[in-house]
Structure 1
Amino acid sequence: MSEVTINQPYGTPTWIDLGVADLERAKSFYGALFGWTYEERSSATGPFTMCLLRGRRVAAFRPRSAADPDGESWWQMYVAADDCDATAERITAGGGTVLQQPKDIGTLCRTAVVEDPVGARFSLWQGRALAGCEYVNEPGTLVRNDLATSAPEPARGFYADTFDFTLDGNKDLPDFDFTFLRRPDGHEIGGVFGDPGAAASRWRTTFEVDGTDEAAARAVAAGGTASEPTDAPYGRMADITDPFGTAFGVITRLPAGRAAAEGE
């Protein structure tokens, strides 16, 4: 178990949410898949639903809005920012775009929606009352995010310059164009995957599960789809698509992969 009670270091993926058109169906699907329960909340920006694991906040659902691209759905990644406004300016200076200016979400956080130079959207999270996901790196919670893009070089340069990440090759996957992104303290926060066939640049979320085959079966039974689980260097993985077309990954990590992700 990895419990988070304070704001994560700058640039760390720290929160996720999903825009949904059918809240009850989303609650049913993810409840069956991850065992989540829910808490309805509201702020000056509108209603939202907290996703809970053992009573702790691990994600959120929000109503889909005009800001969500038509025909697409994906888990939105938020990265930790000590100063949301200053980070938004740094993103613009690095060639990115601020799509929604910094604003407060009640007392929870200050946030902004941004886009990198290759078109991948993500958000910023300056934690206040909520540091971010209160559990990570355990079954039913966020374990990693990776960027898939057909333009990996400008993406790598942008994230290294904007968030002070170092870039590190992956000897375990020599046939793939994959680069680890690491904080200055050496902690891996995700990676950039160069995919010439990527139709759009997107950050992809992966959740930890206790049994990939079982999770894939639960996803299908709850109305989603799942790829055939496969073994990879860091664990057993499957691709899941929820009833809204949202694609994400699940993994049951091997001990070595678990230690690497948690900085042990």
Structure 2
Amino acid sequence: MVFRDERWPDGTPSWVDLMVPDQDKAIAFYGSLFGWDVQRGGAETGFYGMAGLRGRPVAGIGQTPPGQDIPPAWTTYLAVSDVDHTVAAVTEAGGQLVMPVMEVLKEGRMAIVADPAGAVFGLWEAGNHIGTQVTAAPGTLAWNECLSRGFPAAKAFYEEVFGYGFQDISGGSFTYTVLLLDGRPIGGLGTVPESVPAEVPSYWSAYFWVADADAGAAKVAELGGTVEGQPFDSPYGRQVRVTDDQGVPFMIIAPNEQSGEPEGWAV
């Protein structure tokens, strides 16, 4: 388990949160699955829930505001030092502003944007809240990736806006590149798998660390979620795609042994 108290470098996936119609149901599901202790904020926060491990935040769980037709989903937030500047860069590079810049009390500033291929993600300019403060342990964020229906345009976009480098690991039937910041892997960009229905747009996906992928999948099913296929081994760990009991997809992965820290991360 690795703790962090400093702001994340620009372009790093620094936070994820879930917006769902039933917050209570989500808190019960993820609390049981990952051992999260979720503390709700007051009315001024929209009763936003902060999920924690060892007393430190790892993810957010919120309730869809009344009257808003927002699909339930996990949202990946990329750290930025100037959200206004990044929003301008996003639109100049062919992306779109989905939700304008807003102040979140003294915690930070945020916006929701989409890349040219339609994948939606968040921007987070840290104030009091830097994002996730725990990594490299069960129940923490393990990986974030964008799966795109417009891979060339998306690759050019992320390079222009965030200055990513790329490490291509494509092979056979898939196209995939690791996103690099100063040579350090921080996420991935690939094509949407052929098995995914054509109506599903480009999307960012979150992976959560578990001690045992097979046991994690069984727990998801026990809690009322669904497991898509069987857990499978990859060069980076055993993983499987699942959905929670409100139909929100995410990935769970039991990473390979990495001496207590994510691959490429210098503690």
TM over 0.5: yes
CA distance in 2, matches of 1:192, 1:148: 6
Of 226, 236, 239, which aligns to 2:238?
Answer: 236
CA distance in 1, matches of 2:208, 2:95: 27
Cross-structure match for 1:151: 150
Structure 2 counterparts to residues 58-97 of structure 1, below 5 A = 58-65=58-65, 69=70, 72-97=71-96
Deviation at 1:174, TM superposition (A): 5.0
CA distance in 2, matches of 1:68, 1:52: 28
CA distance in 2, matches of 1:52, 1:45: 17
Structure 2 counterparts to residues 170-209 of structure 1, below 5 A = 170=169, 173-183=171-181, 185-195=182-192, 197=194, 198=196, 199-209=200-210
Deviation at 1:23, TM superposition (A): 1.4
Q: Could you tell me which amino acid in structure 1 is paired with residue 121 of structure 2?
A: F
Deviation at 1:37, TM superposition (A): 1.1
DSSP 3-state at the match of 1:104: strand
Structure 2 counterparts to residues 103-114 of structure 1, below 5 A = 103-114=102-113
DSSP 3-state at the match of 2:41: strand
Runs of 4+ with >3 A deviation: 42-45, 65-69, 256-259
Cross-structure match for 1:221: 222
CA distance in 2, matches of 1:187, 1:207: 19
DSSP 3-state at the match of 1:153: helix
Cross-structure match for 1:260: 263
Residues 12-53 of structure 1, C-alpha deviation per residue, up to 9 Å, x if partnerless?
A: 000010101111111111011000111111364522111111
Deviation at 1:96, TM superposition (A): 0.8
CA distance in 2, matches of 1:201, 1:43: 33
Cross-structure match for 1:138: 137
TM-score using structure 1 length: 0.92
* Conserved 8 A contact 1:137-1:143: yes
CA distance in 2, matches of 1:232, 1:68: 36
CA distance in 1, matches of 2:83, 2:137: 28
Deviation at 1:74, TM superposition (A): 2.1
Deviation at 1:195, TM superposition (A): 2.6
Residues 216-250 of structure 1, C-alpha deviation per residue, up to 9 Å, x if partnerless?
A: 11111111112321111111111111011111111
Q: Compute the RMSD of aligned alpha carbons.
A: 1.9
Cross-structure match for 1:162: 161
* Conserved 8 A contact 1:219-1:240: yes
CA distance in 1, matches of 2:264, 2:214: 21
Q: Could you tell me which amino acid in structure 2 is paired with residue 139 of structure 1?
A: P
TM-score using structure 2 length: 0.91
Structure 2 counterparts to residues 10-89 of structure 1, below 5 A = 10-42=10-42, 44=44, 46-65=46-65, 69=70, 72-89=71-88
* Conserved 8 A contact 1:102-1:112: yes
Cross-structure match for 1:5: 5
Q: Which deviates the most, 152-161 or 173-182? A: 173-182
DSSP 3-state at the match of 1:159: helix
CA distance in 2, matches of 1:128, 1:76: 19
Q: How many residues align?
A: 260
Cross-structure match for 1:127: 126
